[in-house]
């Protein structure tokens, strides 16, 4: 017997038939003698629809009311899932985040979990019930309903697994697991059996939507073992866990392609102390997250500064920097949207040399020009032309022998 958390995303509970199918799957796990706690998302599209309605009524909806509204999506699916289990003769009870005991800070629409004791859930498990918890929401100490940000039902699942000391947190989704690259780009991408928290965190931050980044951080912090698997078949998925030594045998775990980036170049600014500080402080005050940064010290006392932001922030970043140019002593700002960031990720890079050399020579052979480079201990990222992104990803994937062929 094991204690298992199963999280089902929006597509998996997208309509009544799918909810019934998921319920049958939960029943199987339950009938095998396991204790089961289920976390569900809103039906796919519902959260977007609620946001659209709010925006149709008010251009900047109040954040408290937004949480009141968005938490409804998940409340629908927990109740329907409980009913679906009842119909199969399985004792089950639904709980909102608040009822489950998830206490958060009061930051509406981006709340953080402050404390979460598993005793309320535990009581129901003792009675032999399946407990179904609404994803992505909690309650602040002041009694207000809060939500955690988009995609955060994953976080609820991991937090529940930690609170009740579950043996595993299974994230059921519409893909079979985490792949060595996006299979829509690289046709022979293969499913990864095991991946470390750190590697997964890189993939999540690099735009892989399989697991929400904060949920991976949480899992890493508390050592929660996560399994990503498909809700449409019975294949084993990808296990995300503490790094073990054998993980370093693989030099590169996978290749991530991020097409949602833009490059901002600030050129001909006076090369004096404090310029970069000013630029990045102002961007940070505007809530713009900057990723890669490169500065070239030019001749004649002027410098160029290049950085990347997510594409949706690029216009704002350009405007923000433009207001500073006078203060910086002149210069120009320019945005390039047609770029992509390609990254190779793997804990094996700590012990293997030559990853950068192989990556760069592969790109050279493919006639891909590198615009920016950044590295960390377990990752190398390059910015290249958007049009070459897929070709480059395929070449890199095959150079590091990640394919099934
Ligand atoms: N329903 C929320 C969203 O769409 C949370 C989730 O699905 O994880 O972002
Ligand atoms: Mg999701």
Model confidence over 328-383: pLDDT tens digits? 888 999 999 999 999 999 999 999 999 999 999 999 999 999 999 999 999 999 99
Centre of ligand 2 from the C-alpha of residue 357, in Å: 35
Among 169, 171, 189, which residue's Cα sits nearest to residue 180? 189
Rounded CA gap, 255 and 345, in Å?
Answer: 6
Q: Residues of the chain with pLDDT > 90: what percent? A: 89
Tell which one of 10, 12, 75, 157 to mutate to probe ligand 1, the residue whose CB is within 8 A of the most ligand atoms.
10
Q: What is the DSSP pairing of strand 379-385 with strand 339-345?
A: antiparallel
Query: By three-state DSSP, how is residue 154 classified?
Result: helix
CATH code at position 166: 3.40.1160.10
Instruction: Please tell me if the CB atom of residue 331 comes closer than 6 angstroms to any atom of ligand 1.
Output: no
Look at residue 225 and tell me if it is in a domain.
Answer: no
Instruction: Please tell me if the CB atom of residue 151 comes closer than 6 angstroms to any atom of ligand 1.
Output: yes
Look at residue 43 and tell me if it is in a domain.
Answer: yes
> If you take atom 5 of ligand 1, which residue's CA is the nearest one?
151
Tell which one of 71, 151, 159, 213 to mutate to probe ligand 1, the residue whose CB is within 8 A of the most ligand atoms.
151
Instruction: Please tell me if the CB atom of residue 346 comes closer than 6 angstroms to any atom of ligand 1.
Output: no
Half-sphere exposure of 152 (CA within 13 A, CB side): 20
Q: Say what the pTM is.
A: 0.90
Q: What is the pLDDT of residues 236-281, one digit of tens each?
A: 999 999 998 888 888 899 999 999 999 999 999 988 888 889 999 9
Query: By three-state DSSP, how is residue 226 classified?
Result: strand
Q: Which two tokens stand for residue 390?
A: 């897929």
Look at residue 273 and tell me if it is in a domain.
Answer: no
Ligand lying nearest the CA atom of residue 44:
1
DSSP assignment of 279-313, as one string?
HHHHHHHTTPPP--EEEEE-STTEEEEEEEEEGGG
Residues near ion ligand 2 (CB < 5 Å) are 9, 151
The band of 10, judged by pLDDT with boundaries at 50, 70 and 90, is very high
Sheet holding 332-336, edge to edge: 293-297, 302-310, 261-270, 332-336
Give the total residue count for the chain: 405
Look at residue 203 and tell me if it is in a domain.
Answer: no
Among 367, 373, 307, which residue's Cα sits nearest to residue 342? 373
Instruction: Please tell me if the CB atom of residue 138 comes closer than 6 angstroms to any atom of ligand 1.
Output: no
Look at residue 394 and tell me if it is in a domain.
Answer: no
| Residue listed under structure tokens 């995303």 | 9
Minimum-distance ligand 1 atom for the alpha carbon of 156? 8
Look at residue 321 and tell me if it is in a domain.
Answer: no
- What is the predicted pLDDT for the residue at 405? 66
Instruction: Please tell me if the CB atom of residue 41 comes closer than 6 angstroms to any atom of ligand 1.
Output: yes
Ligand lying nearest the CA atom of residue 157:
1
12 contacts: CB under 8 Å, gap ≥ 6: 18, 22, 172, 173, 174, 231, 232
Rounded CA gap, 252 and 240, in Å?
Answer: 16
Q: What is the pLDDT of residues 96-110, one digit of tens each?
A: 999 999 999 999 999
Look at residue 128 and tell me if it is in a domain.
Answer: yes
- What is the predicted pLDDT for the residue at 313? 94
Q: Which two tokens stand for residue 342?
A: 């390609």
385 contacts: CB under 8 Å, gap ≥ 6: 338, 339, 340, 368, 369, 371
Task: Count the neighbouring beta carbons within 10 Å of the beta carbon of residue 300.
Answer: 6
Which parts of 135-253 are beta strand (E)? Answer: 137-140, 145-147, 168-173, 194-196, 226-230, 238-241
CA 268 to chain centroid: 36
Task: Count the neighbouring beta carbons within 10 Å of the beta carbon of residue 256.
Answer: 23
> If you take atom 6 of ligand 1, which residue's CA is the nearest one?
151
CA angle, residues 16, 94, 128, in degrees to nearest 5: 110
- What is the predicted pLDDT for the residue at 23? 98
> For residue 186, which phi and psi values (nearest 5 degrees)?
-115, 110
> If you take atom 8 of ligand 1, which residue's CA is the nearest one?
151
The band of 41, judged by pLDDT with boundaries at 50, 70 and 90, is very high
Q: What is the pLDDT of residues 72-98, one digit of tens each?
A: 999 999 999 999 999 999 999 999 999
> If you take atom 9 of ligand 1, which residue's CA is the nearest one?
150
Q: Which domain holds residue 24?
A: 3-174
Centre of ligand 2 from the C-alpha of residue 172, in Å: 9
Look at residue 305 and tell me if it is in a domain.
Answer: no
> For residue 136, which phi and psi values (nearest 5 degrees)?
75, 15
Q: Are 142 and 111 in contact (CB under 8 A)?
A: no
Domains: count for the chain: 1
Among 298, 313, 300, which residue's Cα sits nearest to residue 264? 313
């Amino acid at each position: 017997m094991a204690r298992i958390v199963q999280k089902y995303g929006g597509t998996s509970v997208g309509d009544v038939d799918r909810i019934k199918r998921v319920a049958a799957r939960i029943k199987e796990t339950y009938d095998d003698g396991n204790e089961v706690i289920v976390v569900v998302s809103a039906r796919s599209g519902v959260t977007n629809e609620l946001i659209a309605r709010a925006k149709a009524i008010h251009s900047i909806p109040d954040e408290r009311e937004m949480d009141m509204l968005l938490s409804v999506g998940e409340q629908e699916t927990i109740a329907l899932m409980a009913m679906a289990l009842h119909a199969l003769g399985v004792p089950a009870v639904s709980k909102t985040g608040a009822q489950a005991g998830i206490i958060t800070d009061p930051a509406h629409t981006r709340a953080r979990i402050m404390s979460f004791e598993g005793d309320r859930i535990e009581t129901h498990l003792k009675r032999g019930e399946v407990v179904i918890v609404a994803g992505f929401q909690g309650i602040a100490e002041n009694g207000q309903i809060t939500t955690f940000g988009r995609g955060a039902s994953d976080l609820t699942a991991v937090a529940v697994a930690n609170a009740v000391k579950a043996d595993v947190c299974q994230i059921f989704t519409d893909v079979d697991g985490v792949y060595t690259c996006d299979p829509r780009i690289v046709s022979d991408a293969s499913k990864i059996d095991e991946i470390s928290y750190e590697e997964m965190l890189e993939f999540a931050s690099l735009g892989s939507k399989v697991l929400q980044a904060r949920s991976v951080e949480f899992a890493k912090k508390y050592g929660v073992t996560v399994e990503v698997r498909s809700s449409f078949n019975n294949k084993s998925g990808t296990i995300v866990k503490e790094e073990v030594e054998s993980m370093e045998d693989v030099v590169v775990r996978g290749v991530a392609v991020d097409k949602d980036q833009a490059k901002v170049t600030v050129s001909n600014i006076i090369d004096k102390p404090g310029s970069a500080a000013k630029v990045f402080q102002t961007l940070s005050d505007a809530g713009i997250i900057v990723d890669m940064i490169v500065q070239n010290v030019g001749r004649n006392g002027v410098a160029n500064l290049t950085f990347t932001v997510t594409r949706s922030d690029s216009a704002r970043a350009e405007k923000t920097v433009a207001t500073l140019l006078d203060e910086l002593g002149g210069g120009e700002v320019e945005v390039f949207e047609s770029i992509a960031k390609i990254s190779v990720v793997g804990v094996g890079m700590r012990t293997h040399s030559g990853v950068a050399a192989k990556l760069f020579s592969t790109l050279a052979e493919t006639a891909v020009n590198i615009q920016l480079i950044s590295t960390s201990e377990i990752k190398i990222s390059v910015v290249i032309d958007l049009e070459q992104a897929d070709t480059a990803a395929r070449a890199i994937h095959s150079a590091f022998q990640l394919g099934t062929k």
